[in-house]
A and B are shown apart, each in its own frame.
Chain A
Amino acid sequence: MSWVETSNGNRISRDAHITGSHKILLNGNVTVNASVTLNADVEIGKSTSGGTDSHIITIGKYSYLGKGCKIMPPILSIEQREDVAFEIHSPIRIGSYSIVGENCEISSVSIGNRVLIEKGCKIGNSSIIYDCCFIREGCIIPPKAVIPPFSEVSGVPGVDFVCTELSNSYRKLIEGEARERYLLG
Chain B
Amino acid sequence: MSKIYSNTQFICACTTSKLSSSDSLNARKYLFTENQSFPLHSLPKLYYCLSCRCIKCTACLTPKYESKFCPSCMIDHTGTSSVYCTKNCFDCPKCSSRLTITSKTIPPKSKQFKFSCTYCDFSYSTGIIDKPKSLLNILKSENEENNKEAEMFHQFQIKVKSTVSYNKLLSADVGPSGSSRKISPELLAKLTNLNLTNLTKKLSGSDNLTKIEKLENQIITIKPIAFDTNQDEEEANKRLNSEAIIPQQSSIHQHSYNHPFQTLPIPKTLRAKKSLLCDKCATVVIQPEPLPVSLKFPIKNNAVEVIPTVKVTSSSSSVISGIPNSVSIHLINPHNQKNSVKISTISQLPTQFFDNTSVSVNVTLPTASTVLLAPKSDSKKESILKSIPTSFLSEATQNSRTELMLRHGSSTDANTSYLEDSFDESFDTTVPIESSTSWSSVQMKFVVIGGAGENVDLKIPLHFALETSMDGQPFKLTYWSVVELGNFKIVTP
Contact = CB atoms under 8 A, between A and B. Distances in A.
Interface of A: 5, 11, 116, 124, 130-132, 142-151, 155, 157-163, 165, 167-174, 176-177, 179-180, 182-185
Interface string B248-288: 10101100000000000000000100000000000000101
A148 B248 contact: no
A130 B400 contact: no
A130 B73 CA distance: 12
A142 B119 CA distance: 6
A157 B94 CA distance: 8
A131 B286 CA distance: 18
27 contacts: A142-B97, A144-B98, A144-B100, A145-B118, A146-B98, A147-B71, A148-B271, A158-B119, A161-B96, A162-B252, A163-B71, A167-B44, A168-B288, A168-B297, A169-B43, A169-B45, A170-B4, A171-B295, A174-B4, A180-B2, A180-B384, A183-B381, A183-B388, A183-B397, A184-B388, A184-B397, A185-B396
Given A130-B293, A157-B119, A170-B4, A146 B72 contact: yes
B323 interface: no
B382 to A, nearest CB: 10
Q: 4 tightest CB-CB pairs across the interface, nearest first?
A: A185-B396, A158-B95, A142-B97, A142-B119
A146 to B, nearest CB: 5
B302 A159 contact: no
B1 A180 contact: yes
Given A157-B120, A158-B95, A184-B388, A148 B71 contact: yes
Contacts, number: 121
B459 interface: no
B266 to A, nearest CB: 13
Contacts of B394: 184-185
B119 A159 contact: no
B305 A157 contact: no
Given A158-B119, A169-B304, A146 B74 contact: yes
B302 A169 contact: yes
Nearest to B304: A169
Contacts of B385: 183
A174 to B, nearest CB: 7
B315 to A, nearest CB: 19
B303 interface: yes
Contacts of A157: 92, 95-97, 119-120
Contact of B95 (A161, A165, A170): A161
Contacts of B400: 183-185
A165 B271 contact: yes
Given A130-B293, A149-B295, A170-B44, A161 B396 contact: no
Interface string B1-16: 1111000000000000
Which of A160, A171, A184 has the largest number of chain B CB atoms within 10 A? A184
A143 B304 CA distance: 34
* Binding site secondary structure of chain B: loop
Contacts of B397: 11, 182-185
B205 interface: no
B295 A132 contact: yes
Which of A155, A161, A163 has the largest number of chain B CB atoms within 10 A? A161
Interface in B362-393: 379, 381, 384-385, 388, 392-393
Nearest to B2: A177
Contact of A124 (B100, B118, B295): B118
Contacts of B293: 130, 149
A27 to B, nearest CB: 16
Interface in B229-261: 248, 250, 252-253
Contacts of B97: 142-143, 145, 157
B120 A184 contact: no
B309 to A, nearest CB: 9
A143 B98 CA distance: 8
B125 interface: no
B448 to A, nearest CB: 32
Nearest to B69: A148
B46 to A, nearest CB: 8
A165 B94 CA distance: 22
A158 B118 CA distance: 12
Interface in B97-135: 97-98, 100, 118-120
Which of B119, B384, B392, B396 has the largest number of chain A CB atoms within 10 A? B119
A33 to B, nearest CB: 10
A180 B293 CA distance: 27
Contacts of A165: 271
A179 B376 CA distance: 15
B292 interface: yes
Nearest to A147: B71
B399 interface: yes
Contacts of A155: 250, 253
Interface string B292-329: 11010100101111000000000000000000000000
A130 B294 CA distance: 11
Contact of A160 (B92, B253, B300): B253
Nearest to A171: B295
A143 B97 CA distance: 8
A124 B95 CA distance: 14
Given A116-B4, A130-B293, A162-B252, A173 B304 contact: yes
